[in-house]
Structure 1
Amino acid sequence: MPLAQLKGLSGYLDAEQKKLLIERVTDAILSVEGEGLRPVTWVIIDDVPEGQWGVGGNTVSVNFLKNLASQQ
């Protein structure tokens, strides 16, 4: 039974983005493991509260991520 556990900063993705992420991660897993496992493939998104996520010794904020994403 495949399980993908994703962690992200709370407030960064809205409900529709999370739904799309779950669909695409599921599809990626099944492209390797086989379509027959769809009914038992789990994707869990854990939201980490702002202020409890850090990279390189710095706290990461939703605004920081949005600015970073817009640069691409």
Structure 2
Amino acid sequence: ERGAGLTAACGTGACAAQVAAVRRGLTDRVATVEFESGSLVIEWREADGHVIMTGPITLEYTGKLPEKVAA
């Protein structure tokens, strides 16, 4: 992920790769994308063109921003 360094998965990249693969005729509109950390199901819906990503989530960090930064 840009600015975050190496991450366990990249949902944005998985969605982009799925759309590109469908457009090239390499896969169906619904596919499972495998990462070292697990898998995501990516669906590029024909009816409305939306890309839907489904998979597990984990909390990585909690914190508070100073009010000046958050404004």
TM-score clears 0.5: no
TM-score by length of 1: 0.31
Which structure has the larger Rg over C-alpha atoms?
2
Larger relative helix fraction: 1
TM-score by length of 2: 0.32
Whose relative contact order is higher, 1 or 2, with alpha carbons under 8 Å and at least 6 apart? 1
